Amino acid sequence: MVAKEKKKDGPVMETVKTVFYALLIAGAIRTLIFQPFWIPTSSMKSTLFIGDFLFVNKFAYGFSYASCPSMFGVDFCGFAKGSETRLMGSEPERGDVVVFKHPTLGSDYIKRLIGLPGDRIKMVEGLLYINGAAVAITPNEPFTEIKAPQGPQRGQPRCTNNPAPGGLCEKESFTEVLPNGVSYSILNIQDSGADNMAEITVPENTFFFMGDNRDNSIDSRYPQTGPQGGGVGFVPRENLIGRADRIIFSSAGSSLFSFWTWRSDRYFKAIE
């Protein structure tokens, strides 16, 4: 008896299968290990610039519904929303730079973790207080950049001085040191309403986040307002996606793919 030769797939089917498996592997990596993230705004200057491209470490805090990528407007893990338990979860640390889902909008945000559950947080004339103690700050040389359009939105940076287009834009810079010893630079542009905030207590299973560019960040200092959202407010534990550890590369142009605009000093730069 002669064995029948197995019929081979045609070139079209082979291509379809290759694309399918590639998407399956990429989806598994994006869901379980790393998620790419491109910085779209200036809220984390001078730690992160518009155009920084990084991968988010999803192992850092374990997995929740927020770990699943949303595509075509579909939240594939929405059925798990509402659980306070994270699979293989570990606790975030104060000072981590974290990507999370906005509690009402569902969009991805990146900010610095300032307040843990049970912490008392307030702001007095721009100075941060945690559990009744002022956080130590020391002044730095001013942060400078060229006043020119930035990123795909082509927005102009805000400055403490008033330079002409193409001139040197300055911002006040300070080093802030959290109670656990984590230090980083923060920027100040002007006196604003968010420089003063009455003391609040971070509820159980939530976190309090702030941007390093304090006068250009919508964060937990601003409450959520209605279904469309306003500020960030307190962020539930389940909304954490992962920790941002290292910049892969950075584009100073209007597109991520404009390689001739990539910043030579930001390749594989650690995020502090």
Q: How far apart are CA 169 and CA 156, in angstroms?
A: 10
237 backbone dihedrals φ, ψ, rounded to 5°: -55, -40
Non-local CB neighbours of 35 within 8 Å, separated by 6+ positions: 55, 56, 58, 69, 99, 241, 242
Single out the residue of 47, 101, 60 nearest to residue 211, CA to CA.
47
Cis peptide before 220 (omega within 30 of 0): no
- Cα diameter, the chain: 90
Residue 150 in tokens: 């930035």
Q: For this structure, is 111 an active site residue?
A: yes
What b/e sequence results for 71-91 when a residue is b if at least 16 CB atoms lie within 10 Å of its CB, and e otherwise? eeeebeeeebeeeeebeebee
- Exactly one of 42, 43, 64, 217 is catalytic; which is it? 43
Cα gap 162→144, rounded to integer Å: 12
Six-digit token string for 260: 């001739």
Taking 3-state DSSP, the helix, strand and coil percentages for the chain, each rounded to the nearest 5, stand at 15, 35, 50
Residue with tokens 């929303």: 81
The rounded Cα 262 to chain-centroid distance in angstroms is 20
The residue annotated as part of the active site, out of 45, 58, 101, 111, is 111
Provide the annotated active-site residues.
43, 111
